[in-house]
Amino acid sequence: MAETAIQVDHVSKVYRLYSKPRDRIKEVFSPTRRLYSREHYALRDVSFSVYRGETIGIIGTNGAGKSTILKIITGVLNPTKGNVVVNGRISALLELGAGFNMEYTGIENIYLNGTMIGFSRKEIDGKLADILAFADIGDFVYQPVKTYSSGMFVRLAFAVAINIDPEILIVDEALSVGDAFFQVKCYHKFEEFKKQGKTIVFVSHDLSSIQRYCDRVILLDQGRKYAEGTPKDMIDRYKQVMAGQDVPESGDAASGTDVKGDRILSDGRLWRERMEENPECSSYGNGAATILDYCVMDQKGRITNVLSAGEDYTVRIKVQFHQNISEPVFALTLRDKQGTDICGTNTMFEDFDTGEVGDGDVRVISFTQRMNLKGGEYLLCLGCTGFKDGGFEVFHRLYDVCLIRVSSGKNTVGFFDMQTRIDYSGRGARDE
């Protein structure tokens, strides 16, 4: 039987929330012991085991309790109920640089953090060269940390945390720090740890990394352990959690979506209410049409913000018209987080006849495509445009309406997986 590295046993974490700061004082000095607070469970009765040599992923929506459970495992927080047992020396990549003294130099902070972790000065001396090489900030290491740029700061903090040779590595959204080249170093170090058989607990919204590196995944939702299983199965369940749909495998009929697209969901909600929308979405147009609703669906017909690379997905848009228009153009675009358009199409490019529409008419258009983007996060833009009196007009556009997360178990360069096929043949001396 595999040796247990971390045992989380019925752990709960409760915070008391107060409507006003003075309510804390009133509660303390209340002669009747009246409560002026309410309980908030960041975690509720969570149990799981992590075995030595495993890489475990923890996923969930914002507020699910992911960071809280990591802080309890590392001893930053104490549980309200339950116990955690850790067998091995931990290095935690939680809040990088949290223990740094801004007045100290980089070198002084390396020794300060090493001492806090439990190393002697001699042991830190032995690791210093590796730390400096990994951070690669040159002579700035002899300057006070307060003079560092944010990039230099996280590089040094990461280098200190990653080079202490831990038995257990705890990672919370810390692999994508610094510039692109430093991120490559971070992932190489992570892979090196995995090959060495170290125990890793990994929290990330990057589902491609979860799928690529993890042996097992734990899905948290609203402070509870929702499910546990293989990365693929848990990412699939995560889609359902995000959309509020814990449904069987039967697809459209079970999910409550209407494949004809001529009505809202059976529970009365709009499609977009099941999406993770951008509250700061940019909207503009001349008012000749309004995008009433939209959604993204995976190939099983479930509304979701999470898509799997290599699978079909559908973007559905519902538009109401306020004028008579001939051949309206419906469009979608996917952009990166810096705002660069990556790919897109519209009904005119696709040579699709949308016909005539009149004032008050509602139309639903569905674009079904193969998801060939590499794993990562992208923004969806929607539009309805057209030509009137020989001129191009924007009826309604929505920029960056929602975030789409693409999960992939494959590394590629750039934005797209080119579906490469490789043929490798030849003869060597020993084949002759």
Q: What is the pLDDT of residues 253-269, one digit of tens each?
A: 333 333 333 344 455 78
Q: What is the mean pLDDT of residues 317-342?
A: 93
Strand 391-407, strand 306-308: pairing: parallel
Q: What is the mean pLDDT of residues 217-245?
A: 86
Cite the residue boundaries of each domain of the chain with CATH code 2.70.50.60.
Answer: 258-407
Q: Output the pLDDT for position 251.
A: 35
The total number of residues written for the chain in this structure: 432
Identify the weakest region by mean pLDDT among 175-189, 219-233, 314-328. Answer: 175-189
Identify the weakest region by mean pLDDT among 120-129, 207-216, 244-253, 266-275. Answer: 244-253
Q: Output the pLDDT for position 164.
A: 74
CATH 3.30.360.10 fits 1-89+201-243, yes or no: no
- With bands split at pLDDT 50, 70 and 90, how would you rate the model's confidence at 44? very high
Cite the residue boundaries of each domain of the chain with CATH code 3.40.50.300.
Answer: 1-89+201-243
Q: What is the CATH number of domain 258-407?
A: 2.70.50.60
Q: Output the pLDDT for position 259.
A: 36
Q: What is the pTM of this model?
A: 0.69
pLDDT higher than 90, residue 42: yes
pLDDT higher than 60, residue 59: yes
Q: What is the mean pLDDT of residues 150-163?
A: 83
Q: Output the pLDDT for position 178.
A: 62
Q: What is the mean pLDDT of residues 114-134?
A: 87
